[in-house]
């Protein structure tokens, strides 16, 4: 299974969340930015390579957590999908729902640049849901913007929202 979605990134992040869990805005700290992602059960936001612009996202369920040779950044985190098996992708404005069988996964997020469009590099992302249980978060490939501290920070505060 492989599907492709087009997003326009406004806030330097791509959010992946289990649709059965209400999405929670997460409060990025400097440490989260340095590691390239912010995580809590049911939601992970990956920092994008660019601040604003087009992002083509390929989603697949398969493979193993190995980064593509042309990926500038590759991060793997644990991710659970609840029944009935729907994951939401969001650029903070637009959302897409993707069918992913319920289960435990290693979620591999790879990002890179492809050809130049309109004078700008086009950014791509590949999200691979790799079936399996116990996975440790890991930066498999870091670009110049990342400077992670180990152990990676696997807790995040919720952004306060008025009721």
Parse the chain into domains and list their residue ranges: 2-158
Which tens digits make up the pLDDT trace of 46-88? 999 988 889 999 999 987 777 888 999 999 999 999 999 999 9
CATH class assigned to 2-158: mainly beta
pLDDT at 116: 58
Write the CB contacts of 87 (distance below 8 Å, at least 6 apart in sequence): 16, 17, 18, 19, 59, 81, 97, 98, 99, 100, 129
Q: Is the pTM of this model over 0.85?
A: yes
């Amino acid at each position: 299974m492989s599907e492709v979605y087009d997003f326009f990134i406004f806030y330097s992040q791509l959010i992946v969340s289990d649709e059965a869990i209400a999405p929670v805005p997460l409060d990025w700290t400097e440490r989260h930015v340095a590691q390239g992602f912010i995580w809590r059960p049911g939601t992970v936001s990956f920092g994008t390579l660019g601040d604003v612009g087009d992002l083509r996202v390929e989603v697949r369920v398969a493979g193993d957590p190995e980064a593509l040779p042309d990926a500038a950044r590759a991060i793997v985190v644990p991710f659970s999908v609840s029944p009935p098996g729907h994951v939401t992708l969001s650029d903070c404005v637009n959302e897409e729902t993707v069918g992913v069988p319920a289960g435990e996964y290693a979620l591999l997020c790879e990002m890179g640049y492809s050809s130049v469009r309109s004078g700008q590099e086009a950014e791509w992302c590949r999200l691979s849901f790799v079936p399996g249980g116990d996975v440790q978060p890991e930066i498999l490939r870091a670009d110049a913007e990342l400077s992670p501290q180990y152990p990676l920070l696997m807790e995040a505060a919720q952004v306060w929202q008025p009721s």
